[in-house]
Amino acid sequence: MPIKRLTSGFLDFKEKSYEAKKDFFLKLAERQQPRIMMVACSDSRVDPAILTNTEPGEVFVVRNVANLVPPCHQDDAQHGTSAALEFAVTALEVEHIIVFGHRGCGGIKSLLTADPNLGAQNAFIHNWMNIADEAKRRTLIIARSQPLEVQLKILEQEAIKTSLANLLSFPWIRERVDSNNLRLHGWHYDLYDGNMYVYVPENDRYEPLTLELASRLQDS
Ligand SMILES: [Zn+2]
């Protein structure tokens, strides 16, 4: 009974969390002031709030297929991710944007294989995933002779780098990054080993998140 799971889950939350921290939630009802935005995947296994142990109000999240950021295009199409970015950056004035990818991403897999999990009707997915075309090209140069699993992991990580570059195509992001009012991060969560891998631009590689890396990131 999937809906029963949610209705009883909500009632449990209301009784144990909301009522216990009512002042906190009433204050939140007045306004949100998150300092961090995440662009995460819609995948049910990688909920950013759960994986980072954060509370309501702390992280402004947009989730889409394969946690992609499109380049800045001002046209008549409906750009949901761009709208969320615009609100987070220009209205909420978040200080960090994290592009948050993960191992075993179905959207990324569809770029390298005919994914049986995708239905025949995938025109929207196909068009959306074109954002990662350049990342796919780079991956096939780096890892053409590698097994598919390795290629997929590299492509997931390269696609995060593409999204970080695309973030800079939005003028209101670029100017805040240039003036040090906004920082961009790329994270890749590995469901197999339970580690978070953080993109370190100076080394152009992903490093496992440890206390040491966390303090280095804090200081930089
Ligand atoms: Zn995914």
User: How high is the pLDDT of residue 108?
Assistant: 97
Mean pLDDT over 59-87 rounds to: 97
User: How high is the pLDDT of residue 216?
Assistant: 87
In 3D space, the residue among 49, 82, 89, 88 whose CA is nearest the CA of residue 173 turns out to be: 89
Catalytic residue list: 41, 43, 45, 102, 105
Q: How far is the CA of 173 from the centre of ligand 1 (A)?
A: 24
Instruction: Say whether pLDDT at 117 is over 70.
Output: no
Instruction: Say whether pLDDT at 116 is over 70.
Output: no
Residue 214 near residue 200, CB atoms below 8 Å: no
Q: How far is the CA of 95 from the centre of ligand 1 (A)?
A: 24
Give me the percent of the chain exceeding a pLDDT of 90.
Answer: 91
Give the confidence band of 122 by pLDDT, cuts at 50, 70, 90: confident
Instruction: Say whether pLDDT at 118 is over 80.
Output: no
Q: What dotted CATH number matches 32-219?
A: 3.40.1050.10
> Do the strands 183-189 and 96-102 form a parallel or antiparallel pair, or are they unpaired?
parallel
Query: Torsion angle, CA of 109/110/116/121, rounded to 10 degrees?
Result: 150
User: How high is the pLDDT of residue 120?
Assistant: 63
Residue 188 near residue 200, CB atoms below 8 Å: no
Q: What is the pLDDT of residues 17-56, one digit of tens each?
A: 999 999 999 999 999 999 999 999 999 999 999 999 999 9
119, amino acid identity: G
Q: What is the pLDDT of residues 159-195, one digit of tens each?
A: 999 999 999 999 999 999 999 999 999 999 999 999 9
Residue 81 near residue 100, CB atoms below 8 Å: no
State pTM to two decimals.
0.95
Whole-angstrom Cα distance, residue 126 to residue 179? 36
Q: How far is the CA of 155 from the centre of ligand 1 (A)?
A: 12
Query: Taking the domains of the chain in order of start, what are their residue ranges?
Result: 1-31, 32-219
Query: What mean pLDDT, rounded, does the chain reach?
Result: 95
Residue 40 near residue 100, CB atoms below 8 Å: yes
Q: How far is the CA of 147 from the centre of ligand 1 (A)?
A: 20
User: How high is the pLDDT of residue 220?
Assistant: 65
Give me the percent of the chain exceeding a pLDDT of 70.
Answer: 95
User: How high is the pLDDT of residue 119?
Assistant: 62
Residue 170 near residue 32, CB atoms below 8 Å: no
User: How high is the pLDDT of residue 123?
Assistant: 82
Instruction: Say whether pLDDT at 121 is over 80.
Output: no
Q: How far is the CA of 64 from the centre of ligand 1 (A)?
A: 8
